[in-house]
């Protein structure tokens, strides 16, 4: 159960509703939006405010301008796309604070939508500066956070601003993210999690938290080689974090103590380098050659992982099983993604690269939930508090 006030609990009619959204979208060199998921997923909240005669004042960051105005990080392409998607004009402000913004907001009519300029043009945003927070807060009567992806940050717009409102509520996207990700705390069983990706160090808190919740844990990707090294297996030149080998051993011991089986790759696609034109071969467990790199899981591993997932009622997936950006090394990740997409289990995908892969493969709609929050999602799955959510008003 979601325990925070939500947008539907607010009476928005005639009110200035200050909404933190995450429009940190990818732009190509020409300034064209290459993926508008972060805009489309915010539409329900924006439409609700406008349709219910509120005045929506949207605020977001884009990229890392570090307190300087940078023309290629203006939110102009976003306001244009938003206007088109909503079928109504979304006026973009030249700044996020100041007299001109105040005047424009003063002139707003019910149902109008305004987009403030990139918050991170002011260094005060990331510093959670109290004066800047006050200025932003003065622009609204009500506050809504719909930016799950930045809710792990204690910034002005996510933390300093909502503190100044008697009513700070969650938008629809944020609520949906929390409700789905929270299923890991109360899953239909069997619950199987697959953790892959590059670095053990970034995944240790999640693995430790999940060991208390899952029925089986599957480990793949570059991360698996640190565990295989801990088990004394040859790993050649594969990605490894030597300072994490002891932590991997601790996790292995924890899994025995918690009686949670961990599955590892039992065969590998190895390559002479991590590039497209490398020579490759499949080797069994223990067969990784000295100068070669493990770049993907092998066919027996895929079968073993999928056999385990067949009985699952809840599947959580974070982290690719191989170097999925390179087509030749993406088979394991693709087969896993396709299996999860076709399964009847409740499926949750988290992590920036894993979500991007699912979108690229056209499987987004086939998963129960694909998180829009990279770091925020990982922090949530590690069982840690997200300040931007904790600060919202309790129900």
Residues that bind ligand ADP (CB under 6 A): 197-198, 202, 221-222, 239, 294-295, 318-320, 322-325, 351-354, 374
The entry of Mg ion, ligand ADP, none that residue 57 binds, CB within 5 to 8 Å by partner kind: none
Q: Does 317 participate in binding Mg ion (rule CB under 5 A)?
A: no
In the residue annotation, 38 being an active-site residue is answered as: yes
Q: Which two tokens stand for residue 235?
A: 């790993």
Rounded (10°) CA dihedral 272, 275, 279, 282:
80
In the residue annotation, 375 being an active-site residue is answered as: yes
Other CB atoms within a 10 A radius of the CB of residue 357 amount to 21
Using CB atoms, what's the residue nearest to ligand ADP?
A: 197
The entry of Mg ion, ligand ADP, none that residue 239 binds, CB within 5 to 8 Å by partner kind: ligand ADP
Of 111, 352, 375, 383, which lies in the binding site for Mg ion, with binding defined by CB under 5 A?
A: 352
**Rounded Cα gap, residues 157 and 126, in angstroms:** 9
Only one of the segments 59-67, 263-271, 347-355, 385-393 lies at the binding site for Mg ion (rule: CB under 5 A); that segment is 347-355
Q: Nearer Cβ to ligand ADP, position 121 or 225?
A: 225
The three-state secondary structure class of 17 is strand
In the residue annotation, 68 being an active-site residue is answered as: no
Q: How many residues bind Mg ion (CB under 5 A)?
A: 2
**Alpha helix stretches (DSSP H) within the chain:** 37-40, 43-51, 76-86, 99-106, 123-126, 130-137, 172-181, 200-211, 224-230, 245-257, 299-310, 331-342, 352-360, 375-381, 387-390
Q: Nearer Cβ to ligand ADP, position 316 or 346?
A: 316
Q: Which residue has the tokens 């088979």?
A: 331
Q: Nearer Cβ to ligand ADP, position 323 or 386?
A: 323
The β-bridge partners of 4 are 394
The three-state secondary structure class of 124 is helix
Choosing from 127, 134, 183, 199, the catalytic residue is 199
Q: Nearer Cβ to Mg ion, position 65 or 320?
A: 320
Q: Any idea which residues carry the catalytic annotation? A: 38, 199, 352, 375
């Amino acid at each position: 159960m979601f325990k925070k006030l939500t947008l539907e609990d607010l009476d928005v009619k005639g009110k200035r509703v200050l909404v933190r959204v995450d429009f940190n979208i990818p732009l190509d060199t020409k300034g064209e939006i290459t993926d508008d998921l972060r805009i489309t997923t915010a539409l329900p909240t924006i439409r609700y405010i406008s349709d219910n005669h509120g005045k929506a004042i949207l605020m977001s960051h884009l990229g890392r301008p570090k307190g300087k105005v940078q023309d290629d990080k203006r939110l102009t392409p976003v306001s244009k796309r938003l206007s088109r998607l909503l079928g109504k004009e979304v006026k973009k402000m030249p700044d996020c604070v100041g007299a001109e913004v105040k005047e424009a907001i003063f002139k707003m009519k019910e149902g109008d939508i305004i987009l403030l300029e990139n918050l991170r043009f002011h260094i005060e945003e990331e510093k959670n500066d109290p004066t800047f927070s006050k200025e932003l807060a003065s622009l609204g009567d009500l506050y809504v956070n719909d930016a799950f992806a930045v809710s792990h940050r204690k910034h002005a717009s996510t933390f300093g601003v909502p503190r100044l409102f008697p009513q700070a509520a969650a938008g629809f996207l944020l609520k949906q993210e929390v409700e789905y990700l929270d299923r890991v705390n109360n899953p239909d069983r069997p619950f199987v999690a697959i953790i892959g990706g590059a670095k053990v160090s970034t995944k240790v808190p999640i693995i430790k938290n999940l060991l208390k919740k899952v029925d089986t844990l599957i480990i793949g990707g570059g991360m698996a080689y640190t565990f295989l090294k801990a088990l004394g297996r040859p790993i050649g030149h594969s990605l490894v974090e030597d300072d994490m080998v002891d932590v991997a051993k601790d996790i292995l011991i924890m899994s025995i103590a918690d009686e949670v089986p961990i599955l590892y790759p039992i065969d590998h696609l190895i390559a002479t380098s991590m590039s497209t034109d490398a020579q490759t071969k499949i080797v069994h467990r223990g067969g990784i050659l000295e100068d070669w790199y493990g770049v993907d899981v092998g066919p027996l591993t895929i079968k073993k992982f999928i056999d385990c997932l067949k009985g699952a009622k809840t599947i959580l997936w974070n982290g690719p099983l191989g170097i999925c950006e390179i087509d030749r090394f993406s088979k394991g990740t693709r087969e896993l993604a396709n299996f999860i997409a076709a399964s009847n289990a409740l499926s949750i995908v988290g992590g920036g690269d894993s979500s991007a892969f699912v979108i690229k493969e056209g499987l987004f709609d086939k998963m129960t939930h694909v998180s829009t929050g990279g770091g925020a999602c990982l922090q949530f799955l590690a069982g840690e508090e997200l300040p931007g959510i904790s600060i919202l008003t309790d129900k």
